[in-house]
Structure formats: structure tokens, C-alpha cells
Structure 1
């Protein structure tokens, strides 16, 4: 059994099991599933935005997904402590204007806090350069060069 399958097969609190299940099937066509995961007063933070409220989160996800050709999440590991969890994931997405329209893989971690069986706090940690900047034609080459020089 691979790690991803063992993560799926684990028994989690209801809120966390729902999060894992929904994020692995989330798409532009079913963003209403966010209502099953997040509280009305949710705070969502990623490297670019800080969003407050479920309605604003819907708008944010709608804007993200409408520009993508595809986007999938694989949950690779979960650490849970009561009403908090750290989720380790891989996102594979395709955007027509990034990386020549090819797939991009990004590793990330999310910190989740739940209250009353819904997520009230979600913070994503990921390499924004790997996700976005490195996928742009000119900037991507410059960032790659900087990373190579920094590693020497």
C-alpha cells in the first residue's frame, strides 16, 4: 500500500475526513462542496492572499479554478492533534499560460483548525516560486539561475 492510499484509509475526525475527501475531487464544477468543509467565518491564508468569510473564499476559488485547465490534489500525509491538523499535499495543475501549458507539480502543507466540525482556519505553506514565478518564460529562467547560484 502506498503512503497516499494509507492516508485515505485512515480514520479521521469527521471534519478532517470530509476535507481530505472533498479536496481530492474539488473542481470548478463543484465548488459548492466548500460549504461542507468551511465555517462561515473561515480565515484562509496562502502566500498571496488572506481571505475572511466563506463567501469571499468561494469567490477566490472560483477565480483560481476558472483559469486552470486542470487541478488535482493528492494528500500525502496527515498529522492531527485534537481540532488541528497539518496536511502534506501535492497539487498538480495545468494553466494555458504557465510552463508552456504543461502540468506543474507543487508540494505544500496546510495548517487546519476546526471548530464545531467545520474548518475555521486554513493556512497554506508552499513555494510560490515553484508554483508560479518559475513557470513564467523569462522570470522562470532567472529564478532557476538564481537557485543554481545560491546552491553553489
Structure 2
């Protein structure tokens, strides 16, 4: 799917580089992060906050270690001077989540940048990613969600 773009002008090059990065990123090519992220980047998601490019590489190294396949389908990009919001659906197979069954998780990313991204925050439902996929806890969480 081709993402739609809403901005006063074309999306900054850094947004395109970020999108391309997440189509290629794997545990064995984390050096690709160097071309997109600033050395002092702050990265946040519902599970962690990391400071610095070295910590970001370590974090992604742990995340991608058991990933069998992953891709991001970008939907909407809203870009302005020095920042952008992107919506996406992550499609992933992970050996420790549902026996490698493909998971589809919608989310959004807010970035701030100059030449490189210096702030990156992901928004997604951590329960849908992890907790609902655990054998006992997942059953309990799904039951609670049905009642609410």
C-alpha cells in the first residue's frame, strides 16, 4: 500500500529513509540505524525507553533476535518541519509468540529530526502484542476485554 502524505510540501528525506530502514532492518544489519538516527537519539515505546544510538542498537538486537519475518505497511504520513507522524501495521512472525503465527499490529510513530532522527516514539497496544499471546495470561486479558 502506498502511504498517503499530508504536509505543506514533500516528506523530508529522513522520513523516507526511516520507512526504508524498517523494511530492511534485521538482527544482523543493525548498522543501518547509523544512517537514520542521531547519536543522542531518544527512543520510546510502550515497553521501553532508551537513550543513545548504542542503546537503541542493543534494544533492537534483543527485539529482532527471534523474529522470523517482519514488515511494516505504512499508511498515513503527516510531515511538517522537523517532525512527522506515521501510521503503520507491523506484520511479524516471532518464534516465541503463537508458534510463529503472523501477527498484525497497528501502531503509530512520532519522530523529530534534523539531518537524522533524534526522537522516536512508537504507540501501539502492548497487550495485543505480548500479553494476549501468552497462554494463561492471554486468556484472562481477552476475557476482561470482552467484558469491558
User: Would you say 1:5 and 2:25 are equivalent positions?
Assistant: no
Q: Per-residue deviation at 1:7?
A: 4.2
Range with bigger deviation, 140-149 or 94-103:
94-103
Counterpart residue number, 2:136 = 138
Q: Per-residue deviation at 1:46?
A: 0.6
Question: What is the alpha-carbon distance in structure 1 between the residues aligned to residue 3 and residue 92 of structure 2?
Answer: 23
Counterpart residue number, 1:122 = 120
Question: What is the alpha-carbon distance in structure 1 between the residues aligned to residue 27 and residue 4 of structure 2?
Answer: 25
Question: What is the alpha-carbon distance in structure 1 between the residues aligned to residue 3 and residue 55 of structure 2?
Answer: 33
Q: Per-residue deviation at 1:97?
A: 2.1
Question: What is the alpha-carbon distance in structure 1 between the residues aligned to residue 3 and residue 127 of structure 2?
Answer: 30
- Say whether the 8 Å CA contact 1:11–1:17 is kept in structure 2: no
Structure 1 stretches (4+) deviating beyond 2 angstroms? Answer: none
Q: What whole-Å deviation, never above 9, does each CA across 1:86-134 have from its counterpart, x for those lacking one?
A: 010111111222123211111000100002x100000011000011111
- Say whether the 8 Å CA contact 1:68–1:96 is kept in structure 2: yes
Give the length in aligned residue pairs: 145
Counterpart residue number, 1:82 = 81
TM-score normalised according to structure 1 size: 0.89
User: CA 1:147 to 1:110, structure 2 compared with 1: closer, same or farther past 3 Å?
Assistant: same
Question: Equivalent residues in 2 for 1:1-152 (5 A)?
Answer: 4-7=1-4, 11-115=10-114, 117-150=115-148
TM-score normalised according to structure 2 size: 0.91
User: CA 1:77 to 1:56, structure 2 compared with 1: closer, same or farther past 3 Å?
Assistant: same
Q: Which runs of 5+ in 2 are unaligned?
A: none
Range with bigger deviation, 131-140 or 91-100:
91-100
Q: Per-residue deviation at 1:11?
A: 4.2
- Larger RCO, structures 1/2 (Cα 8 Å, 6+ apart): 2
Question: What is the alpha-carbon distance in structure 2 between the residues aligned to residue 82 and residue 27 of structure 1?
Answer: 29
- Say whether the 8 Å CA contact 1:112–1:122 is kept in structure 2: yes
Question: What is the alpha-carbon distance in structure 2 between the residues aligned to residue 64 and residue 40 of structure 1?
Answer: 20
Question: What is the alpha-carbon distance in structure 2 between the residues aligned to residue 91 and residue 50 of structure 1?
Answer: 20
- Name the SS for the 1:28 alignment partner: coil
